[in-house]
Structure 1
């Protein structure tokens, strides 16, 4: 990588996207359309030169959500943390949403918090706060 690219990359805002891993949400449903929409949403970050990482966790009991999310939040300084709609719109997951929001407050207090409308609008949600 040349110096100009390294500088541009280093200066790019960092966004962390937190949400459910659709392949590990129990139920009789096909997660692949949601996976495709997540990938489409993440591709927009590259198009705009914005660094993005995901922190997706399952609802199948295989993740210690506090540990997984806390580790991701401590990995870098984040300009924005986007919390996915699946987490926010799940009436039976209010405590999990509270946990995630409070982890963001604890480990990324300077980061803006954004909420997407759908998996493919994640860039637009973050862009409201980083541009």
Structure 2
């Protein structure tokens, strides 16, 4: 079975006043997208885990613990962790935690939670390593 992890920022910790985020974006819209991501991964027959983290040390610890649970084939990093410019250092910490905790996993990026399965599909089955 293909094991996939979708890691993103907890919707209730997002700073929606950040001008780099789309207007009208809110926690409910993010959660709806996460729900779609989970559903589409299941529909494709993948064992998909969702790991929403806080943008702080506790988030990195949560991610590290999740990565230690099993060997993932692909880890998708959501836009909330990589798009806002003021989150660059935390994004780097996330990438390095994934690199350390899942060194064999492909790393993919979605454009929004709803296309998480498409991001995984680019890498699962084809190993671009």
Could you report, residue by residue, the CA deviation over 1:68-104 in whole angstroms, capped at 9, with x for unpaired residues? 1110111100000100011110100111011011111
Alignment of 1:1-131 (within 5 A): 12-27=1-16, 30-59=26-55, 64-131=58-125
Count, aligned residues: 118
TM-score normalized by the length of structure 1: 0.83
What is the rounded CA distance, in whole Å, between the counterparts of 2:123 and 2:51 in structure 1? 19
Alpha-carbon separation, structure 2, partners of 1:33 and 1:104: 26
SS of the residue corresponding to residue 87 of structure 2 reads helix
Give the C-alpha shift of residue 21 in structure 1: 1.1
List alignment gaps of at least 5 residues for structure 2: 18-24
Question: What secondary structure does 1:129 align onto?
Answer: coil
| Secondary structure at the counterpart of residue 82 of structure 1 | strand
Counterpart of 1:130 in 2: which secondary structure?
coil
2: CA distance, partners of 1:20 / 1:107: 18
Q: TM-score, normalised by structure 2?
A: 0.84
From the two aligned structures, give the one with the greater helix fraction: 1
